[in-house]
Amino acid sequence: MTVGVPTLFLLLAGAGTPRGLSHEWEAVVGLAAESGRPTSPVAPAPRYEPDDTVESVLSPGERFRIHFTRQGTHAVPAADADGNGVPDFVELVGHTYERVATFYAGLGFRLPPDDANPAGDDGGDGRFDVYLVDFAGIGDGAFRLESCLEGATRCTGFMLQENDFLGYGYPSDAEAVEILASHEFFHAVQAAYRPDLGGIASEGTAVWATERFEPALDDLEGFTRGYMISPDSTLVLDPAGPGVSFTYGAGLFFQFLGERYGDGALVALLEESVRQPEARWPVLLDTCLRRDFASSFDAAFAQFATWNLGTGPRATPGFGYARAEGYAPVTTAAAQLPTTQDRVRVAAAASRLFEVPGGASFVGASYEPEPGTDPAALHLILAAVTDDAVLRVVTEDGPDALRAQVAADDATRVVVAVVDGRMEGLGRYGQLCIAATGQSASCAPLEAADAGTDAGTPDAGADAGTPDAGPVDAGRPGEPIEEPRTPSDDGGCQATGGPLSGALVALLLGGGLRARRRSRAR
């Protein structure tokens, strides 16, 4: 059956049968009056009005049932160019959800289980249901969790989606539906594994999924600022209060995972969530990276922090993200040379970034954790940069004292990042020193003759792996070679290392040019 030759269902949400249709109608009886679906008068808003006649049509591949009304507040646009009796907007929704589901299944993800429910409202059958309703400008879509088949796993639900996108500022209905379908349906994919991964993993992977489905949508690009303005915020705890932009901006980390390790890393993360139903998402990811990719959460996060140096105006061919020019630049704190800061705090899975003038032969830095502090998973990154490129990067990895230097005579600025790659834990403090060649400071660079040769090309950060992880993947194909490391303090060199909240949010994207709205799903 295709959308072009639909079977329509009157769902008893109101009275009367639409006139002028030649299609066969079927009344669906036995639906639970107390259903949480928008066809119920007691469902949470948005929901259909009591006198709305709600119809439904199958998507082309018959995976989805699209519910809509032609009247009142929730009416879909009436245009029907092919004259088949189904509004074009409804057909667009059906086609798009089919494309999205086919794409995700092709990547290896599970699709939501059958939602057939003889005791309650399942939309008429076991197909996944999409209800087109008016969000009144305070959201544009939401996946609502409804039931689980196996305890807290293998869950399913239904979709609410804006009925017409009037006033939302999307360039077209097609783009709006692609963004909503790819993002919100990925929440349904997550629920097919485990629905309680938390906001960072839930929204972050959904933002990644939209980018993976159609990079031209620029949805991830708009959200990156939410993360890049506060890279010193921990990635492994959901933010409290007004931190929603950071939650969506965390999609950049999952984009990194997909580009660095492939789609299989994201599939493995969700599969592992079923095997470890109580584990937090960073632990699940660490398990997958160690087992399947000769890496670790720590190593991945350190490389992620490095890739973030080359975004926006500093996007550099061959360095980091494939579409880095569209991502927001990472926020740094300006500092002079030399500088010493006695108590620089860095949180777990976070970075502190400082930017100093370039032009010196070398710029060096050191970070010494306070006495009694476990130095594990600390990294010091120095990047020689210009306004529009990353020239070279040097990384020093713990657990020993962190000290590094980078050639900077052709750089206008040097970025110094202290990175904490732990999956959990309180913030740690240490003394940061940054100085240039010839300056009087404990971290002043060694003479050039002792500093190794300049590799002449940037490096997006080699994956340090883990001691027991087996062979280490040196990086993406074609990645430039890292500049030789500088001697550390000990004279050696470090090795290369649940239920939905229902809250609706409005995020301002694209430098204020366009407002997109999301409902928050967890």
Q: What is the pLDDT along the chain (522 residues), one digit of tens a residue?
A: 222 322 233 232 322 222 222 222 222 222 333 358 999 999 999 999 999 999 999 999 999 999 999 999 999 999 999 999 999 999 999 999 999 999 999 999 999 988 776 556 777 788 999 999 999 999 999 999 988 877 677 898 999 999 999 999 999 999 999 999 999 999 999 999 998 899 999 999 999 999 999 999 999 999 999 999 999 999 999 998 767 899 999 999 999 999 999 999 999 999 999 999 999 999 999 999 999 999 999 999 999 999 999 999 999 999 999 999 999 999 999 999 999 999 999 999 999 999 999 999 999 999 999 999 999 999 999 999 999 999 999 999 977 779 999 999 999 999 999 999 999 999 999 999 999 999 999 999 976 534 433 434 466 766 655 444 333 333 433 333 333 333 233 332 222 223 222 222 232 233 332 333 343 333
Q: Would 349 be classed as within a structural domain?
A: no
- φ and ψ at 250, to 5 degrees? -65, -10
Q: Residues 252, 257, 260, 262: is their CA dihedral positive or negative?
A: negative
Q: Would 439 be classed as within a structural domain?
A: no
Determine if residue 60 is left, alpha or beta; phi over 0 gives left, psi from -120 to 50 gives alpha, anything else beta.
Answer: alpha
User: Which two three-digit tokens encode residue 433?
Assistant: 């020193």
List the domain range (segments joined by +) for residue 118.
1-181+498-505+513-522
Q: Would 130 be classed as within a structural domain?
A: yes
Work out the number of other CB atoms within 10 angstroms of the CB of residue 486: 21
Q: How far apart are the C-alpha atoms of 398 and 377, rounded to whole Å? A: 6
Contacts of 421 (CB under 8 A, 6+ apart): 297, 298, 299, 300, 301, 302, 349, 377, 378, 379
* Domains of the chain: total: 1
User: Which two three-digit tokens encode residue 326?
Assistant: 């569209």
Q: Would 137 be classed as within a structural domain?
A: yes
Tokens 């060649």 identify what position?
437
Q: Would 258 be classed as within a structural domain?
A: no
Q: Would 13 be classed as within a structural domain?
A: yes
Q: How far apart are the C-alpha atoms of 306 and 256, rounded to whole Å? A: 11
Q: Would 242 be classed as within a structural domain?
A: no
Strand, helix or coil for residue 184? helix
Q: Would 110 be classed as within a structural domain?
A: yes
| Nearest CA-CA partner of 453 in 407, 390, 393 | 407
Q: How far apart are the C-alpha atoms of 12 and 18, rounded to whole Å? A: 12
| Nearest CA-CA partner of 398 in 425, 373, 423 | 373
